[in-house]
Structure 1
Amino acid sequence: MVRRRTALADTLRQRIFSGLHLGTLSPGDRLPSVRDLARELEADPRSILTAVREIEKEGLVELRQRSGIYVAEHVMTRPSSPREADWIADLLVEGLSHDVSGPRFAEHIRRYLDTVRIRVACIECNHDQNAQLCGELHDDYGLDAQPVDLYDLFATADAAAVVRQADLLVTSQFHANQIRPLAAELGKPLIIAPLQTGLFAGIADLMTKGPVYVVVSDVRFADKLRDIFKSSPGADNLHPLVLGTDDLGQVGRLGQVGSDAPVYVTDRAQAMLPERSRWKRALPHIRAFSPETARQLFSFIVRANLGPSDSKNE
C-alpha cells in the first residue's frame, strides 16, 4: 500500500512538472478532482488524497477545502534541495542502525553496486522502447544491458546467445507469457517490469486538446502507440512519425508540427535526428521503470554484489 501511494505521488508530481514545462499548466491552475484522478489512475480516492497531501508538503500543489487541488502559486519546477538533504540525512541515520558510519557509507554503496559486472538481456518488441530501457538500466543502475529484439530471440543465434550469457533477463509485462518459460528453461532470473504510465497518461490528456506528435525510429512502436490509444478520446489527434518513413522536414514545413504542437521524441529517434532541438514544446522524458521495478533491480544488484555468504549475514 505504501509503495502504491508512493507511485501515485510520483505520477502526479511528474504530470505537474511536465505540464509546467510544456506550458499546459501554470501556477494557480486547478487540477482534476480526487474523484477524477482516482477514476483515471484506477486507484482508491483515499490513496489519491494521501499522494496529493504528500506533494502538497513539497510545495507543489495547494489543497483547498471545498474548492479542489491547485498548482501552487509559487511552485518550483524541480524538487527543492532541502528535500534532497533530508533524504540523504535519513539514509545516513538508517546506516548507523546497521553499524555503518557516515564516513564509511560511500564505501558501502560502492561495494553494493560496483563489485561485480552484471549482464542483462533486455527483451522488447521494438527498438525505441528497448533503447530507452537499456539506457536506463545502464545509466540509472550501472548494468551492462544488451537489447534483444523479441522477434529475433527465437530466430537468430546472436540474440539467443545474448540471453544465454546474461545474468538477468528483463522484459515488460506485455511479453511476460513469452519470456517466463524461456527464463525457467535457462535457469535465469527474470524481472517483469510494469512500465510507468506517466508518459502515456500525459499524451492521452494532451490528445483531448489537440494534435500530439510522437517521433519514433521503429514502425512497430508507432503501431503499438496507435493500438494503445485507439479507444482514447481524441485518438485522431495522435500522430506517430517514423524516421526514414515519414518526411519530417516536409511535415515541419507544412506546419503539421508547429511550435504549439507537443512533440515526444524517443531516445533512439533523438540520437538519429540531425538537430537536437527541433520543436519548442518537446515532451520531457519520464523514466520507464516504476518504483517497484527499481526496487527489484536494486535488490538484485545488491545481492549479486554482496555474494551468497554476505547476503545471508545481512
Structure 2
Amino acid sequence: MASPLSEIPDHLLAEIFLRLPNPEDLVRASVACVSFHRLATDGSFLRRFRRLHAPPVLGFLWAGGMFYPTLPPHPSAPAARALDLAADFYFTFIPSYYRWTVQDIRDGRVLLEGDIEKDERPPVFKDLAVCDPLHLRYVLLPPLPHDLAASLEHPFPMVSEARCKEVAAGEATFRVILMANCKTSLDAFVFSSSTGQWEAAASKGWSDLALSEGDMAKMSWVHPYILRRHYAYGCFYWDWVEFGRKKLLLLDTRSRKMEFSIADLPPGEWSRKGGIAIVEAGEGKLGMFAFHGETSSDLSYTIARNKGKSPSQ
C-alpha cells in the first residue's frame, strides 16, 4: 500500500514543491496540512523557491509615488490590480510623506529620499527611509555618523545616491548603499537593518579609476543624474558612455569587503544618446542591451561569457 504524502520525508517533499510551476500552486499546497504549511513557509525553502521562480511583473513605480500596474492580457494583471488597491504608493503612512521621493525598489521595499525646501541649502546627504507600501511599515534611517562624514574630502552636495539591497529574501532585513561623490574620490557606505548602523564600505580615488582631470570635473555635476545605474547578480554598474568611454564602474556587493573596479564594455557600438541596459541573462551571465537610434531595429543585445564578473564579450 502506498504511503500518504504526509509521510514523505521533508527533503523529498521540498524537491517536489520546488518543481511546482508557480507561487499560486505553492500557496494551495501549503493549506493542505500543517506539515505542508510548515515546509512551504520555511525561510530557507522560500529562498530556494524564489531563486527558481522569477517574480511576476506587477508594474512600475514613478519617482513621485504614482504606481502603474501591469494591464491585461498580461498574466500578472490580476495580482497587479490587487496590489494597486491594497498598497499605499503615496506613502501617507510616513511622517511628512509629501517630502519623500522614490530612489530605488527591491524585493517589495521602497527606498525614499527626503526632498529639501526651496530656500534650503542643498545638503550633502539627505534623509532616507525604507518602507513596505503593502504592509504600511517603514524605517527612518539615522544620518551618516559625523566621523564617517568627516572622512570625506570635499563631498559635492546633492550628488550622493542611495540604493536598497536585500540581504535575505523573505526576511525582515535589508541593506542600503549610499554613494558619495567627492572631489578626489568615490566612497560608499552601508546601512544594515540588522545592526541599525552605518559603516564605511568602499573608497576609490578617481585617479585609481583611470579618470582624467576633465572627467573628474564633469563627474562633479553629472553624477548621479546622468550616469545610468544597473544591478545584476549582486553588483551595481554605472556606464561611462556619457564620458565617451567604453567603460563601466562596478561595485561588487557580494562580499563584506565591497570594492570598486572598472570593466570594459564588449566590442560594438555604444551610443551616448541611447545608452545601455544590463540585465541578468541566466546561468550567471550578463545581458546587455544597446539602443543606437530611433527604431526597434536599432536595438542590439549581447551576452557576456564570464559568469557576471565583467561584461566583456
The TM-score with structure 1 as length reference comes to: 0.27
Q: Which has the higher strand share?
A: 2
* Bigger relative CO (Cα 8 Å, ≥ 6 apart): 1
TM-score by length of 2: 0.27
